[in-house]
Amino acid sequence: MKCHSVTALWSPSPPSHHITAVAATPAALFTGAADGTVLHWPLPPSPPFNPRPSSLLCAHAAAITALRPLPSPTSLLVSCAAGVLSLFSASAPLRCLRRRSLPPWAGSPSLVEPLPPSSASSHPRIAILCHAHDDSHGHRHVSAVVVVDARTLAVLHTVFHGALSVGSPRAITLTVCGDDNAVSVVLADTQGRAQMLPIEGAAIEGDSPRRLSASSLSSVASAEAPDGMVEAVALSDDGKVVALVLKTSCLLKCVAEGSVLGEVSLGNTSLCKEEEETGVKGCLAGGFFLHGGEWGARHLEDGNLVRSLVLWGSNGGAIVYRVAVGTPSFACEAVCEVPGIASDQGEMSSIQCCQMGNCLIRVESRPYKIGGSFLWKPFISIWSMDQLELSIAMNPESPPFGKVLGEGSLQGEKFRLEPSHSLPKLDNGVEMSSQMCSPDNGLGRYGRTVSSSMVLSEDSYAPYAIVYGFHNGDIEVIRFLNLMPAAKFGGGGVYPHISERFFVGHKGAILCLAAHHMHAHSNSRSFQRALISGSLDCTIRVWDLDAGTLLSVMHHHIASVKQIILPPASSHHPWDDCFVSVGDDSLVALVSLQTMRVERMFPGHSFYPSMVAWDGVKGYIACFCRSLHSTNDVGSILYIWDMKSGARDRIIRGTTSQSVFEHFCRGISKNAVTGGILGGTTSASSLLVPVLKDTALLQSRANRNGLNVSPVSKNHHTAADSLALGALTAHDMKGKTPAPDDRHNSAYSSGKVGSAKIINKRRKYPIKCSCPYPGIASLRFDLTEIMSTQGSFSDRQFRDHLYGDDTKETIQPGVLENTSGIQEMDSPSRESLEGQLLRFSLCFLHLWGVDCELDKLLVDEMQVCKPEDCHIATGVVGDRGSITLMFPGKEATLELWKSSAEFCAMRSLSIVSLAQRMIKLSRSCTHASSALAAFYTRHFAEKVPDIKPPSLQLLVSFWQHPSEHVRMAARSLFHCSAPRSVPQPLRIERNKIPDAHLSSSDLVDKLIPAMQNASVSCHGQLKTDGEIVDRDDDDTSQISSWLESLENQEWLSWIGGTSQDAVASNIIVAAAFVVWYPSIVKVKLAKLVVNQLIKLVMSMNDRYSSTAAELLAEGMESTWKACLGTDIAHFLSDVLFQIECLSSAPSSNAIYKTAVAVTMREALVGTLLPSLAMADIMGFFGVIESQIWATSSDSQVHVVSLKTLIRVVRGSPKALAPYLDKAISYILHTMDPSNLIMRKACIISSMMALREIARVFPMVALNESMTRLAVGDAIGEIHSATIRVYDIESVTKIRILDACGPPGLPSFLEGPSDTTTSILITALSFSPDGEGLVAFSENGLMIRWWSLGSAWWERLSRSLTPIQCTKLIYVPPWEGFSPNSARLSIISNILGHDKHVNPETKTRELDDADNLKLLLHNLDLSYRLHWVGGKTIKLTRHGQELVYYMFPNVLLEKLEPKRSTNRIVDYMDVSGRGASVSPSGYKCSMLSGWQIRDT
């Protein structure tokens, strides 16, 4: 299961956001920008509105073309010009549920429209219009209309693919026509022509690119071209009217006929008036038809159809019209107006509008020119269309103004012009910008806008610095957390946050960054790490990252440099110290860092390469040039270059180029050594990597075989964007330095790295970093990898790998000298790598500012500090590399805690697991770690009562996690949140408590009868008439539907689960409530979930089966036993069969993974089987006895059965007491000498079982030589009690000893009722020589002695005739003797209390079953018989000495008093004449200080 937590670091300046698409729902506004960002603006249910963005949706790297809210399921569909679709949940945290790419032949999506529900498909569908370039005719555009599943984003079928009969469509809608209500897509172009394409019919299933004939599928309505340029096109909801928005008017045309219905002129309105200050005349910019409620189309009494239309101008003003269309009349009326924007604010602004109920939302993008680049800032204003400002004076001919309901914009500092840190050139032309600027000069990054960013990390274990490139040409390296106590780079305290370096010299915005560690050793080269920067000023600068000096300036590009690509890990010398630069001049160049010269140039690209793949093994570079604009005449082109010769190998044009490029990447991964999809530590965005259908497979192959794919952005604002440290190796920042064990490898010494050996030692890194957009860095913490770092990398190895050979010079002596994998740390300066990762993670994951006392405790004791001067926010991981980042601030993070149960579960689980690990790792942090764990389990809900309880289904998914700390944290969180998170179908409905106005005495009077009438169910649940409303049929239906629901729930995507995981987690949650919280769930739940729980155990699910087995075992006695009844025996048989399969499964079978099989076997053998055996002991013996004949002699089932029997003996000895004979018989059967195979397999376990039974049960005895076994009847008929003696060597019964009541047995020993069933033999013991046996019976207080004779005579005279005892002794009660029911009957008989018992009372005597339960309850297994000195035997109870006896002859002798518990007893010989009790024996028993001695 995946458990990822995301934290974002924002730069102080707000990000640029040039809006290209907008959509609104009743709860939020969404804006998409040209750089691929999508902002979420939450809105309250009612005015006033104060729109502020709360989250940034990161799933695209190209301009957003469409945003479409979907009703079912409630979600948001986003499409971009690169052909990528993403589906976000509409509720917080707006996580990306799906991210898919359209087929290459489809092209770029432009228009999106949801389809109505269809009987043919249960899932919602979407129609998407795409544009591409013709493969064979390079100057002709083709269009495609595809239908996509709204849940999976898979292409269901193709409606149309080819050249449309109309121009490029600008509007799309749906229409239903015909008797069969056929749905068609209506497309309209800028001339008002429309084409209808039926959705159903001759559609192609799947995503096939075959062309469909337009003449057979569509109808086109011709129309005359309008006079003037069309600014926008809008279609009515029914697809019958198209509106063409011109400069100063709007034409309405009939779609079916192509005729003009009317014209709305706006030449005299405020939208088209001339500005007095600038002299620029306004014009219309767009429009759309309103829908819903009073704004939708409706018919008037005269038959005309009225529609509402919104038109807005370039100055931001908008007018709402009601248009009445009839035959032949046409009328329009202005309803309300939205005033324009002031000229000093709205110059060059981009305006868009959208509808939200009765409100009109105006979205404005204002440009700011900084450092030669345009940055955009959004402004939102919300206006009411039904609430008018009638008090404001205006032109009588103008409509009234709508009421403004709210305004808002991006938070953060405003954009401002920035001074450059570059110093003037000297006369010799050398720039002084190579000098490092001091951070104390006041020129901090505040007030400056970031144009590129990159995260630095040593060996990818934990990032330690972020590199910002600014629009004014400056570069700043900022250390936000110090990984090592005495790091080579910079100094300071344990966790400083200070500006480390300034690099100044560029004259334009920094567009790309890269950091490279040199591989080859050279005496002439003095730098080890290089920082490479590309700028808008067309130059590339190489810096010494450690010294802060300029190494070289390169001028081989004549346009801005968009991307720096580092060599893949598989590259060999000399290519491993090179980099590739990509410029806006379409030039790709190979530059050597050793010679600081351009080694190869790859010119001739038709336009800017959007992606570059570098094959370091074959020596090829693939440049993929994709046009993201449909107006271009040239489509996508793939260029493949030979890196060694510099020659162009081939060119592939058209939509096939993308497929070939993806195939090229896969081909590289099959033969290369290692490397990630992104190469090195660069600012390239991972969002630009193609979204493949088998991304996981490609990623795994790339990690194994070495592919370096570095995407490049079309827009320089997104060029500097990402670093996936999880795909990096030691080659990225530390060069080709092998693992510590391979440092002296010969291949490495010769300059060629043995990559395969290095990769075998690589591991997944726990913290991965990315910069999806400039100025925004995200840190993703993988809980599984963090918890698995313990002992995997020693401190000395980490230090050597981090600093190389000069470690002793840079690190103080004594620091991190402990080389053990796991160590306890007492201070951060001496902590292990694991401790550093834990502290680093807690710094960013903990929510600071909620509990000040806890924050202070973390700082003082654990030395975990909030990174100062960092704008920290949280986020969530989405599908296939997408993330959702919240804006900085505690309020935004708390809103996420309050709205998402999945986020609460994931974040709480991560922090509590880390805290528990810290408790074990560091003694000095125990108090702070415990307080931190307690805060996120219990106290957080007390501090913030309205936070969401964690998702229970998500928590139970981690109950089988490999880490013990994660399992403990998941269970703790479950128990803390379960009482307030009961699912609705499972929750019991209770009536209200009695009225509050009643007095306390009246309340007690009402409660007492209710409590008296209450009954306790088999689950311990209190049920009172009228208090629990249990609707059987409805409850059963609701519970079953909830348990068996295969619906793919949202929480599954958080952990990478499937619909089967949803069913399994529901079963686990329901079973946990039944076992642990039966009083708050419905009574029927136990019977409904038990069979599902058993199926889950037998399914061998590696995530849930062991947990299901544990729940069955824990609740077997209290809950499941009553539900299963006689089916327990069948379940036992199935479990044993499953164990047999697990034990004998071949290792090559993928189904039976070794780890899963071991885990499941442990759960079944160690937990479930003993509980089943204890619940049905008779059934257990029946099953294991049948297994002797049903399975092979060497089967592991027999050993498992013996181990289960041992656990039953330890766990439930009293329940096993009546079946001791069966237990002994089965054990001896497994030791049968006639079956040598079984005896060999089971002999050890069998002897262990015998010794355990003899240890627990005093009525079972083994002699000292382990050759004889005696088993007495614990419970049985008093007149047929026997003791069986076995010879263990031959596994045969050699004697039967008669232990029934002797002749003349008093009647009061037979029990209180007619039955003679009683406790018989209490304790047994062989004499030291093995020739005698002593038995003690608590019922009657008797001691018997048998002389067995020598072993050899025993074999000769073997007889199974019951043998009477040699001696019989009656023991008087001792001091502190607590009589059971039998003793009570003795006293009653003696005192005569039962002589006048009512005959009716005798009819209510206990039956056999109840009598057996009573006897088992009174059975005392603490008695023991011990031999002292060879002939004296001592009787003890709970280890306390009771009496001493001596055999065979005794003599009363007065001795010194020893213990008050010693008693003198007499004995009698048992002969054929009977037995009698010596009166003096009873009298002497009352004396103290006497002891029996030998005569």
Each residue's pLDDT tens digit, 593-618: 988 999 999 998 888 898 888 887 78
Length of the chain: 1495
Mean pLDDT of 287-294: 89
**3-class SS letters over 985-1023:** CCECCECCCCCCCCCHHHHHHHHHHHHHHCEECCCCCEE
Mean pLDDT of 1009-1027: 42
Q: How many CB atoms lie within 10 A of CB 1398?
A: 8
More confident call, 1415 vs 1225: 1225
What element of type H or E holds 1095?
Answer: helix 1085-1098
| pLDDT attached to residue 394 | 60
More confident call, 414 vs 922: 922
Which conformational region is residue 459 in: left (phi greater than 0), alpha (psi within -120 to 50 degrees), or beta? left
Residue 1157 CB contacts under 8 Å (≥ 6 apart), including other chains = 1142, 1145
Per-residue pLDDT of 558-571, as tens digits, reads 999 998 988 877 77
Q: Torsions phi, psi of 481, nearest 5?
A: -160, 140
Mean pLDDT of 65-72: 90
More confident call, 1461 vs 1041: 1041
Mean pLDDT of 1001-1019: 42
- Lowest mean pLDDT across 665-669, 825-829, 1218-1222: 825-829
pLDDT band at 672 (very low <50, low <70, confident <90, very high): very low
459 by DSSP, 3-state: which? Answer: coil
| pLDDT attached to residue 178 | 63
Is residue 454 scored above 70 in pLDDT? yes
Determine the Cα–Cα distance for residues 38 and 882; give it in Å rounded to an integer.
12
Q: Torsions phi, psi of 184, nearest 5?
A: -130, 150
**CA–CA–CA angle 83, 84, 87 (5° rounding):** 140
| pLDDT attached to residue 1018 | 40
Is residue 311 scored above 50 in pLDDT? yes
Give pTM, 2 decimals: 0.81
Long-range pairs, 743-752, Cβ under 8 A, ≥24? 743/800, 751/519, 751/520, 751/573, 752/572, 752/573
Mean pLDDT of 547-554: 91
Residue 1385 CB contacts under 8 Å (≥ 6 apart), including other chains = 1308, 1311, 1312, 1394
Per-residue pLDDT of 693-722, as tens digits, reads 544 443 444 443 444 444 443 333 333 333
What element of type H or E holds 1200?
Answer: helix 1196-1211
Q: Which of 877, 925, 670 has its CA nearest to residue 779? A: 877
The token duo for 1193 is 């002699």
pLDDT band at 399 (very low <50, low <70, confident <90, very high): confident
| pLDDT attached to residue 1278 | 81
Is residue 495 scored above 50 in pLDDT? no
The token duo for 724 is 């996936």
Q: Measure CA 379 to chain center.
A: 37
pLDDT band at 742 (very low <50, low <70, confident <90, very high): very low
| pLDDT attached to residue 444 | 43
| pLDDT attached to residue 1357 | 56
Determine the Cα–Cα distance for residues 1191 and 1205; give it in Å rounded to an integer.
18
Q: How many CB atoms lie within 10 A of CB 181?
A: 8
Residue position matching structure tokens 């248009």: 323
pLDDT band at 1011 (very low <50, low <70, confident <90, very high): very low
Determine the Cα–Cα distance for residues 1245 and 1239; give it in Å rounded to an integer.
10
Residue position matching structure tokens 């898979």: 154
More confident call, 289 vs 437: 289
- Lowest mean pLDDT across 184-198, 678-692, 1004-1018: 1004-1018
Q: Please report, for residues 1227, 1286, 1475, the alpha-carbon distance to residue 1180 in angstroms, rounded to integers and kept in the order given.
A: 14, 24, 43
Q: How many CB atoms lie within 10 A of CB 126?
A: 22
Determine the Cα–Cα distance for residues 108 and 82; give it in Å rounded to an integer.
6
Name the maximum alpha-carbon separation found in the chain: 140
| pLDDT attached to residue 1482 | 33
Per-residue pLDDT of 819-835, as tens digits, reads 333 344 444 444 567 78
DSSP, res 398: S
Determine the Cα–Cα distance for residues 1354 and 687; give it in Å rounded to an integer.
87
Is residue 441 scored above 80 in pLDDT? no
List, in sequence order, every residue forming a beta bridge with 1452; answer none if it has no partner.
1492
| pLDDT attached to residue 863 | 82
- Lowest mean pLDDT across 657-666, 789-798, 1385-1394: 1385-1394
Is residue 41 scored above 90 in pLDDT? yes
Backbone CA torsion sign across 834, 838, 841, 844: negative
Is residue 1456 scored above 50 in pLDDT? no
Is residue 306 scored above 70 in pLDDT? yes
Among 829-833, 857-861, 1042-1046, the range with the most confident prediction by mean pLDDT is 857-861
Is residue 19 scored above 60 in pLDDT? yes
| pLDDT attached to residue 365 | 92
Mean pLDDT of 207-223: 50
pLDDT band at 1346 (very low <50, low <70, confident <90, very high): confident
List, in sequence order, every residue forming a beta bridge with 188; answer none if it has no partner.
171, 194
The token duo for 101 is 């790419």
What element of type H or E holds 1427?
Answer: strand 1423-1428
* Whether the Cβ atoms of residue 1073 and residue 1043 lie closer than 8 Å to each other: no
What is 711-769 written as a DSSP string? E--SSGGGSS----GGG--HHHHHTTPPPGGGTT-HHHHTT---HHHHHHT----SEEE
* Whether the Cβ atoms of residue 475 and residue 500 lie closer than 8 Å to each other: no
**3-class SS letters over 1157-1189:** HHHHHHHHHHHHHHHHHHHCHHHHHHHHHHHHH
Is residue 798 scored above 60 in pLDDT? no
Q: What percent of the chain has pLDDT over 90?
A: 29
Q: How many CB atoms lie within 10 A of CB 43?
A: 24
Determine the Cα–Cα distance for residues 1270 and 1247; give it in Å rounded to an integer.
14
Is residue 269 scored above 70 in pLDDT? yes
Q: Which of 876, 720, 868 has its CA nearest to residue 54? A: 876
pLDDT band at 459 (very low <50, low <70, confident <90, very high): low
What element of type H or E holds 1094?
Answer: helix 1085-1098
Determine the Cα–Cα distance for residues 785 and 801; give it in Å rounded to an integer.
20
Is residue 1183 scored above 90 in pLDDT? yes
pLDDT band at 1017 (very low <50, low <70, confident <90, very high): very low
pLDDT band at 57 (very low <50, low <70, confident <90, very high): very high
More confident call, 631 vs 1286: 1286
More confident call, 34 vs 1376: 34
pLDDT band at 972 (very low <50, low <70, confident <90, very high): very high
Mean pLDDT of 1073-1091: 92
The token duo for 670 is 């099959």
Q: Torsions phi, psi of 372, nearest 5?
A: 85, 5
Is residue 789 scored above 60 in pLDDT? yes
Is residue 492 scored above 60 in pLDDT? no
pLDDT band at 1417 (very low <50, low <70, confident <90, very high): confident
First to last CA, the chain: 77
Is residue 748 scored above 50 in pLDDT? no
Q: Which of 339, 236, 231 has its CA nearest to residue 290? A: 236
Determine the Cα–Cα distance for residues 1254 and 1167; give it in Å rounded to an integer.
23
- Lowest mean pLDDT across 249-258, 634-643, 749-758: 749-758
Mean pLDDT of 979-1007: 61
Peptide bond into 574 cis (omega under 30): yes
Q: Torsions phi, psi of 106, nearest 5?
A: -70, -35
More confident call, 1468 vs 283: 283
Mean pLDDT of 361-366: 93
What element of type H or E holds 933?
Answer: helix 926-934
Q: How many CB atoms lie within 10 A of CB 175?
A: 19
Side chain identity at 1269, as an amino acid letter?
L
| pLDDT attached to residue 1260 | 94
- Lowest mean pLDDT across 320-324, 330-334, 578-582, 1349-1353: 1349-1353
* Whether the Cβ atoms of residue 827 and residue 924 lie closer than 8 Å to each other: yes
Q: How many CB atoms lie within 10 A of CB 891?
A: 11
| pLDDT attached to residue 1002 | 47
Q: What is the mean pLDDT of the chain?
A: 76
